[in-house]
């Protein structure tokens, strides 16, 4: 039979359509074989681990009190949040130099870290020696001996407060290992190993910096059920929790007043001189709890010590 069923134009159109169908099938196949990163879903959130969250809160409160001895002023410390990141991602984002204190926390496995922002270190050093706390530029050079000494003192306080915070829920032993200033050469964990990272912001007059607490996720995995706190929801559990919360230390300060003097007046000050403040003697003083104005009161003394008497609550 010589007569064609389809014209040449119809054949070309059919071939073109079949080609598009084949392309669609190939694209679909490519999508099906794309690798899927299962580890991206393996997160432990502190919000699902109430006991771990309690450790974070207690450590933050402890640092407000403990760091006063190093910083020589009362810092404001705010918990920014908790995230889960790979070890390689964490270390690659840290600037040089950074102060990375790494340690073991028995009975947990793996290396824990406390990481200090270099800007925070520069501000603390300047504050200790009476300089300005304005933001500092990270120059990419090693810390000086003085700066390293301040770092060691800060880490000593942080380790002590962290150990105390963990003992709220279990007995632990913190064993310092070392301090590294170049994060890129840290090799004690696998690149893809997950870390739970708590970020704190520490504010001093004129600037702020961060503190990171990094916890190996695999290290606390065997204790996850205990950290969830689901096994102890009896009245005794809540009594224990309340006792811990009520035992959190708070810093109280009294603001006497302000005044302004010239540089020349400051230069001429000597022992025995009197500085007059802006508040009248009979006006109540302001009393602050953790930097927040809470009461008004009057100054006095009790048992041979300076004291103040609460006169009024302040609602802000």
Q: Which of 4-13, 155-164, 247-256, 293-302 has the lowest mean pLDDT?
A: 4-13
Do 272 and 142 reside in the same domain of the chain? no
Phi, psi of 92 (to 5 degrees): -70, -20
Query: Is the pLDDT confidence value at 32 over 90?
Result: no
Do 143 and 157 reside in the same domain of the chain? yes
DSSP E strands in 43-139: the ranges are 76-86, 99-106, 112-116
Q: Are 120 and 209 in contact (CB under 8 A)?
A: yes
- Rounded to 10°, the helix 235-246/50-66 angle is 20
- DSSP string spanning 172-215? -EEEEEEEES-GGG--SS-TT-EEEEEEEEEEETTEEEEEEEEE
Nearest partner of 156 among 111, 184, 118, 114, judged by Cα: 114
Do 209 and 285 reside in the same domain of the chain? no
Mean pLDDT taken over the chain: 79
Range 18-36 average pLDDT: 44
CATH number at residue 136: 3.40.1550.10
Consecutive H or E run containing 297: strand 292-302
Half-sphere exposure of 133 (CA within 13 A, CB side): 19
Cβ count near 105 (within 10 Å) = 21
Range 179-184 average pLDDT: 89
Query: Is the pLDDT confidence value at 278 over 50?
Result: yes
Do 159 and 211 reside in the same domain of the chain? yes
Q: Answer whether residue 73 is part of any domain.
A: yes
- Residue 257 belongs to domain spanning: 253-313
Do 74 and 216 reside in the same domain of the chain? yes
pLDDT digits (tens, 9 = 90+) for 70-118: 887 778 898 888 888 998 888 888 888 999 999 999 999 999 999 999 9
> According to the model, what pLDDT value does residue 162 have?
95
CATH number at residue 289: 2.30.330.10
- Whole-structure pTM value: 0.60
Do 191 and 165 reside in the same domain of the chain? yes
- DSSP state for residue 314 in the 8-state scheme: -
Query: Is the pLDDT confidence value at 175 over 90?
Result: yes
Cβ count near 112 (within 10 Å) = 22
């Amino acid at each position: 039979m010589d007569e064609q069923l389809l014209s040449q134009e119809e054949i070309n159109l059919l071939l073109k359509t079949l080609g598009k169908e084949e392309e669609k099938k190939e694209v679909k196949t490519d999508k099906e074989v794309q690798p899927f990163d299962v580890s991206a879903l393996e997160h432990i959130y502190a919000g699902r681990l109430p006991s771990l969250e309690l450790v974070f809160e207690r450590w933050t409160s402890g640092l407000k009190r403990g760091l006063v001895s190093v910083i020589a002023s009362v810092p404001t410390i705010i918990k920014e949040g908790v995230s889960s990141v790979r070890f390689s991602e964490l270390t690659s984002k840290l600037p040089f130099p950074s102060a990375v204190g790494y340690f073991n926390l028995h009975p947990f496995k793996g290396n824990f870290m406390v990481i200090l922002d270099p800007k925070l270190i520069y501000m603390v050093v300047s504050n200790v020696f009476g300089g300005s706390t304005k933001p500092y530029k990270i120059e990419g050079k090693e810390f000086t001996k003085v700066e390293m000494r301040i770092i060691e003192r800060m880490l000593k306080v942080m380790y002590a407060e962290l150990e105390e915070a963990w003992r709220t829920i279990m007995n632990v032993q913190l064993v310092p290992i070392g301090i590294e200033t170049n994060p890129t050469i840290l090799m004690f964990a696998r690149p893809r190993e997950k870390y739970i990272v708590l970020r704190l912001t520490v504010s001093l007059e004129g600037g702020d910096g961060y503190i990171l607490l990094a916890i190996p996720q695999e290290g606390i995995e065997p204790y996850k059920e205990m950290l969830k706190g689901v096994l102890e929801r009896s009245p005794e559990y809540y009594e224990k929790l309340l006792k811990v919360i009520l035992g959190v230390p708070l810093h109280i300060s009294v603001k006497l007043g302000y005044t302004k003097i010239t540089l020349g007046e400051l230069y001429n000050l000597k022992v025995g001189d009197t500085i007059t403040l802006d508040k009248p003697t009979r006006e109540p003083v302001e009393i602050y709890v953790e930097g927040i104005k809470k009461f008004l009161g009057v100054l006095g003394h009790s048992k041979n010590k300076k004291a103040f008497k609460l006169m009024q609550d302040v609602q802000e």
